[in-house]
C-alpha cells in the first residue's frame, strides 16, 4: 500500500532502523527494489528526480510505482519526489499522487545556486502548507552537500552547487536546523554532514571519518522529532568498479560512503538514506559483463535481466545493513 513518509519514518524512529530511498527511472530498477523488499520483508521508499520524469515521463513513472504497489500489496511503499526545486514542482507531484515530496530550498530553481536561509524557509513553508493539507509529507534541506575531503558538491550536471564550498556551508548548523524546522514544520530534514552526490565523493580509501557523525549527533539532539535524511549515500562498491573496468569501462579511482558509517548515522537519527549511484554502477557492470561474455546475444531482456539481479542483490544488502529488513 502507498503510505506517507511521515508514517514510515515514525516507525523507523520508534524501532531504530533506517530506510534506503532508491531512485527509480525504469522498470528494472523498480522490479529490483520490490523483489529485494519482498525477499527481506522491508518497507520501500522510491524516489523520482526531475531527471527521472524527463527520462520516463511523469505518467510512466507514476504507473511504474503504482504497478509495484499492485504486485506487492503487502509491502508499504512511499512514492517520493526527489529534489523538488520549487513549491510549484511539489504541487504537480502531489497532484500526480506522490505521498511525499522534497522541497529543496537550499538551492535555487536551477538546482545549482546556493540560496539564503530566508528563501529556503519561505519556499519550504509554502510547500509544507500545501502538502500537509493533502496528507503528503515534506522533506526539506538545510546546508550544502559537499565532500569534506574535496570541498566539491559532486554532481556535474544534476543537482548540486557549482564550484568549491567552504566548510561552514558543508555542515548543517544545529541551531539553524532547529529554527528551520520550527518555521517550516517539515517532516524530515536533509542535512549536510560531508556527503555529496554522484560517484566521485572521495579520492582516497575512506578511513572511517567520511561523515561528521558528531554533527549528526548534535543535530539529532536539537531536533529529536525530525527525521534526518542523508543524501549522497552511495558506497561506490569497488567490486562493481572492477567489473566495469574489466569489461571495457574507464572509471577512475573513486570512493563512496562506507556502509558502516551510514549505520553509525542511523544510530543517531538518520532515517532516510538516499542511494542512486550504486544502482547505476551495478547496472552498468552487469550490462558490460553480459555483453562482453555473450557477444552474439541481442535480446535486451537478457542483459536487462542481469541488471535486475545486480541491483536486487545490492538493495538486499542495504535493507539488511540498515535494519530495514523485517519491518514491512
Task: Give yes or no for residue 231 binding Zn ion (CB under 5 A).
Answer: yes
Dihedral of alpha carbons 164, 167, 114, 54, sign:
positive
Residue 82 is a catalytic residue: yes
Q: Which of 234, 283, 284, 324 binds ligand 13P (CB under 6 A)?
A: 234
Closer by beta carbon to Zn ion, 113 or else 246: 113
Are 257 and 235 in contact, with CB atoms under 8 Å apart?
Answer: yes
Of the residues 100, 277, 307, 324, which one makes contact with ligand 13P according to CB under 6 A? 277
Using CB under 5 A as the binding rule, the residues of this chain from 77 to 116 that contact Na ion are: 82, 102
Choice from 276, 307, 318, 322 touching ligand 13P (CB under 6 A): 276
Per DSSP, the residues of 15-33 read HT--EEEEE--SHHHHHHH
Can you tell me the distance from the alpha carbon of 63 to that of 236, in angstroms, rounded to the nearest whole number?
Answer: 29
Q: From the list 146, 194, 232, 237, which residue makes contact with ligand 13P (rule: CB under 6 A)?
A: 232
Which partner in ligand G3H, Zn ion, Na ion, none is near 75 (CB below 5 to 8 A by kind)? none
Whole-Å CA distances, 273 to 148, 219, 230, 307: 18, 16, 5, 22
Q: Which candidate in 10, 38, 41, 82 is catalytic?
A: 82
Half-sphere exposure of 105 (CA within 13 A, CB side): 24
Q: Is 159 in the site for ligand G3H (CB under 6 A)?
A: yes
| 44, containing H or E segment | strand 44-48
Give the span between the Cα atoms of 49 and 47, in whole angstroms.
7
Q: Closer to ligand 13P at the Cβ: 128 or 199?
A: 199
Supply the minimum distance, in Å, between the C-beta of residue 312 and ligand 13P.
17
At 171, phi and psi to the nearest 5?
Answer: -130, 120
Q: What residues make contact with ligand 13P under the rule CB under 6 A?
A: 23, 82-83, 197-198, 231-234, 274-278
Q: What residues make contact with ligand G3H under the rule CB under 6 A?
A: 23, 49-52, 82-83, 158-159, 197, 276
Amino acid at each position: 500500500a502507498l503510505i506517507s513518509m511521515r508514517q514510515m519514518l515514525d516507525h523507523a524512529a520508534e524501532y531504530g532502523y533506517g530506510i534506503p530511498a532508491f531512485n527509480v527511472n525504469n522498470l528494472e530498477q523498480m522490479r529490483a527494489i520490490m523483489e529485494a523488499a519482498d525477499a527481506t520483508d522491508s518497507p520501500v521508499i522510491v524516489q523520482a528526480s526531475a531527471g527521472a520524469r524527463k527520462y520516463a515521463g511523469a505518467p510512466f513513472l507514476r504507473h511504474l510505482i503504482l504497478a509495484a504497489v499492485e504486485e506487492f500489496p503487502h509491502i508499504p511503499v512511499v512514492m517520493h519526489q526527489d529534489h523538488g526545486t520549487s513549491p510549484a514542482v511539489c504541487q504537480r507531484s502531489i497532484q500526480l499522487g506522490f505521498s511525499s515530496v522534497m522541497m529543496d530550498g537550499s538551492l535555487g530553481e536551477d538546482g545549482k545556486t546556493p540560496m539564503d536561509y530566508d528563501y529556503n524557509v519561505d519556499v519550504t513553508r509554502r510547500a509544507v502548507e500545501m502538502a500537509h493539507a493533502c496528507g503528503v509529507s515534506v522533506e526539506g534541506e538545510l546546508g550544502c552537500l559537499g565532500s569534506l575531503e574535496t570541498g566539491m558538491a559532486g554532481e556535474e550536471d544534476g543537482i548540486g552547487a557549482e564550484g568549491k564550498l567552504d566548510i561552514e556551508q558543508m555542515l548543517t548548523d544545529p541551531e539553524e536546523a532547529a529554527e528551520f524546522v520550527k518555521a517550516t514544520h517539515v517532516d524530515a530534514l536533509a542535512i549536510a554532514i560531508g556527503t555529496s552526490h554522484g560517484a566521485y565523493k572521495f579520492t582516497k580509501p575512506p578511513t572511517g571519518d567520511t561523515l561528521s557523525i558528531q554533527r549528526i549527533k548534535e543535530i539529532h539532539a536539537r531536533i529529536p522529532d525530525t527525521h534526518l535524511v542523508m543524501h549522497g549515500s552511495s558506497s561506490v562498491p569497488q567490486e562493481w568498479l572492477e567489473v566495469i573496468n574489466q569489461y571495457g569501462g574507464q572509471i577512475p579511482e573513486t570512493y563512496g560512503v562506507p556502509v558502516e558509517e551510514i549505520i553509525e548515522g542511523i544510530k543517531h537519527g538518520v532515517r532516510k538514506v538516499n542511494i542512486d549511484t550504486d544502482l547505476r554502477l551495478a547496472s552498468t557492470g552487469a550490462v558490460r559483463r553480459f555483453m562482453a561474455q555473450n557477444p552474439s546475444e541481442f535480446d535486451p531482456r537478457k542483459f536487462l535481466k542481469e541488471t535486475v539481479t545486480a541491483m536486487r542483490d545490492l538493495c538486499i544488502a542495504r535493507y539488511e545493513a540498515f535494519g530495514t529488513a523485517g519491518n514491512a
